[in-house]
Each structure stands twice: as C-alpha cells, then as structure tokens.
Amino acid sequence: MADRTGWAGRRVLVTGGAGFLGSALCHALGQAGAEVIALDAMLPGTGARRANLRGCGARLVVADLRDADLGSLCDRVDVLFNMAGQTSHAGSQKDPFGDLAINGHAQLRLIAALRQAAPGAVVVHASTRQFYGRPQRLPVDETHPIVPPDANGVSKFAAEQYWLLEHRVHGRPVTALRLTNCYGPRMRVMDARQTFLGIWIRRLLEGEAFEVWGGDQLRDFSYADDVVAAFLAAAESLLAGTGTAGRPFNLGGDAPMSLRHLAEALVTAGGSGRYVSREFPADRAAIDIGSYHADDGAFRAATGWAPRVGLRDGLRRTVDWFRPRLTEYLTEDETEGTTVR
C-alpha cells in the first residue's frame, strides 16, 4: 500500500458510502486518518448495508441525492468520491426514468451543490466500462467507441460526462474511473443484482450448484482493495495536480479469464462446490456485452497504480470473508431513515 499520510484531517465525502465499493473506501480513508462522511440513501436492491461501515469511523448520513439538501453535506469538503449510482442493467431497461433520476438529475444536483459549497474540492467519479457496449476490439482502451447496450449505459455515460464538463467549464479537478467487474468483501451476494459473481458465491457457500450462463465470455475482475487503491491514487494525483484532471481512465484487474475458468477457480477457492452450464437467457443476451477486458495502461502510467491481488487469491479472500457472515448478507438492510454515527 502506498504512503497514505496525506489524508489525515482531510474532509472527505463518499456518496454511496454504505455500498460495496463506497464502504471499502470509507474503511481505507478511516485508517488513513481522514474525516469521512458516508452519504447513502440505503436503497433496497443495492449493496447498501450499515454493517458495511462497522468500525470504519465514518459518519453515515442517510440522505438521497435526488432530494436532500446537499449544500451542508458538501460544506468544506476537500475530496468527493462519488460512488452513488443506479447500477442495475436489467432494472434500467424496466425503469429508465428511475435510472436517469439517479444517474442524471441527481448528479446535476450534486455538481451544483459542490460548486457552491466546496469550489476547491477534487472529485473521483465511479464510472463504468458498460457504455463501451459489445467490444469491437480487445483489450478496450479509452478511445473505444461508446455504444451503450442499455439505458444504464446511457445514463452512466451522461453522469461521467457531466462531471468531466465541470472540469472543462469550471476548472474543477475531476477524474472518472471506468470500472470493470469488481468483487470482494461486502459485495451484494443475496442475488445477482450487483454482479453474477455475488449469487455464485452465495450458492457456493450454501452448498448448491451455481449457474454459468454461456461460459466462453472473457472478463476481467478488480478486487475491492485494488479498486480502493486506485480511487485513492486518483485523488492524490488530483490533489498534487499531476495531469490526471479531466480524464476518464479504464480500470482493469488481473489477466482476463473465461467465465467457465472463473467458475472453476471459485470452486477451488471455496474448497468444494459445483456449477451447471446454461444457455444465456434470451432477455439477458440482448443486453450482454460478451467478452471484455480493459486496457488500463493509461491509468497505470499516470499514477503508478497496479493491481496487487490476483484473481485466485481475491476469490479465496472473498469466500473466506463471507463464510462466517453469509446469513447477515442474505437480507436487505431494513433500518432506513435515520442518521447514525
């Protein structure tokens, strides 16, 4: 882990802070001595969970970017990690207006509030590889055409572009990280709403077979600790003014792997388990992106970041983390609507 001494006393806002990646960031920031506010609407169907923040020292503010008074939350913020988003691909096709309300309208509210309350804050925005669509070449670098395969891809591209526009027009230091499949402790495992890997891990730990749809698709995977290190490196680069402002960067992980090999690696990580192969369901095939892996050389060159956790090691760590906690992670977090420390 790089030297994180520069974070002590910094005021940091993490939107989506009770979710999978937001909470992982809150833990790292807490350890580095930052003053952390985790803003989260605790929306059902997401990775939001109070337990995710246990012991990290962040102050959880339950508030919705769509309607909360964001000015006071942005007040005196030094760094914003913007992790809140509507992430469901199938969900965005069913309810594109709801998807756009979070990834479009709410982002504009946050941009306006931050401009007013914290004009000097730097921003690292959680973007996605989803809007490249079905790759026209592999690996995918940042010059690849944008061809969103679903409404979520359209809205997430809009969100990223609104933030980068804020850099171009108002000079705010902003970087967007286009994430690939992320996994690790605190991910949503009760179903496949966050990632198919979540339900695979659940089934494995329950001693049941998990389903592999297709199997030949290549994917790359980022372990949560590596994602956190990338967000911190991106913010540190913005704070130091080293030329990353205004740029979107791909973030990848270990070498790509077919889903069939991934399934086998997961069974090995769990010590036992089994899977069954299935045809890709027709309704999902229409929005599936097929094989993908990122060329993240630009981000590595700009910041010195590189993933440190290989896929097999990351899978083992993830399974081991969930084994004693599975039951707790099989129900939605029901305690909505209050603010806690």
Ligand X SMILES: NC(=O)c1ccc[n+]([C@@H]2O[C@H](COP(=O)([O-])OP(=O)(O)OC[C@H]3O[C@@H](n4cnc5c(N)ncnc54)[C@H](O)[C@@H]3O)[C@@H](O)[C@H]2O)c1
Q: Which amino acid is at 274?
A: R
Stretch that binds ligand X, among 83-91, 138-146, 240-248, 266-274 (CB under 6 A): 83-91
Is residue 48 involved in binding ligand X (CB under 6 A)?
Answer: yes
Q: Which residues contact 283 (CB under 8 A, 6 or more apart)?
A: 90
Which residue is associated with the tokens 């960031």? 25
46 binds ligand X (CB under 6 A): yes
Q: Draw the binding track, 251-290, toward ligand X (x: CB under 6 A; -: no contact).
A: ----------------------------------------
Does 332 contact ligand X by CB under 6 A? no
Q: Is 114 in the site for ligand X (CB under 6 A)?
A: no
Which of residues 46 and 237 has its CB atom nearest to ligand X in the complex?
46
Binding-site size for ligand X (CB under 6 A) equals 33
- Do 235 and 81 contact (CB within 8 A), yes or no? yes
CB of 326 to ligand X, least distance (A): 17
Residues 174-193: x where in contact with ligand X by CB under 6 A, - otherwise, as a string: -----x-xx-----x-----
Figure out which of the listed residues 18, 100, 233, 234 binds ligand X, where binding follows CB under 6 A.
Answer: 18
Q: Does 65 bind ligand X (CB under 6 A)?
A: yes
> Which range, of 20-28, 134-142, 271-279, 286-294, touches ligand X by CB under 6 A?
20-28
**Which of 7, 12, 14, 22: binder of ligand X (CB under 6 A)?**
22
Stretch that binds ligand X, among 82-90, 136-144, 204-212, 292-300 (CB under 6 A): 82-90
Instruction: Tell me the sheet residues that pair with 38.
Output: 14, 60
Q: Is 158 in the site for ligand X (CB under 6 A)?
A: no
66 is a site residue for ligand X (CB under 6 A): yes
Could you tell me the smallest distance in angstroms from the CB atom of residue 207 to ligand X? 26
- Which residue stretch of 10-18, 199-207, 230-238, 302-310 sits at the interface with ligand X (rule: CB under 6 A)? 10-18
Q: Say whether residue 41 binds ligand X (CB under 6 A).
A: yes
In the complex with ligand X, the residue whose CB is nearer, 28 or 83, is 83
3-state secondary structure the chain: CCCCHHHCCCEEEEECCCCHHHHHHHHHHHHCCCEEEEEECCCCCCCCCHHHHCCCCCEEEECCCCCCCHHHHHCCCCEEEECCCCCCHHHHHHCHHHHHHHHHHHHHHHHHHHHHHCCCCEEEEEEECHHHCCCCCCCECCCCCCCCCCHHHHHHHHHHHHHHHHHHHHCCCEEEEEECEEECCCCCCCCCCCCHHHHHHHHHHHCCCEEEECCCCEECEEEHHHHHHHHHHHHHHHHHCCCCCCEEEEECCCCCEEHHHHHHHHHHHHCCCCEEEECCCHHHHCCCCCCCCECCHHHHHHHCCCCCCCHHHHHHHHHHHHHHHCHHHHCCCCCCCCCEC
- Closest contact distance (angstroms) between CB of 224 and ligand X is 9
Q: Which of 92, 107, 155, 195 binds ligand X (CB under 6 A)?
A: 195
Please give the residue ranges that form the binding site for ligand X (CB under 6 A): 15-16, 18-22, 39-43, 46-48, 64-66, 83-85, 87, 102, 106, 126, 128, 156, 179, 181-182, 188, 194-195
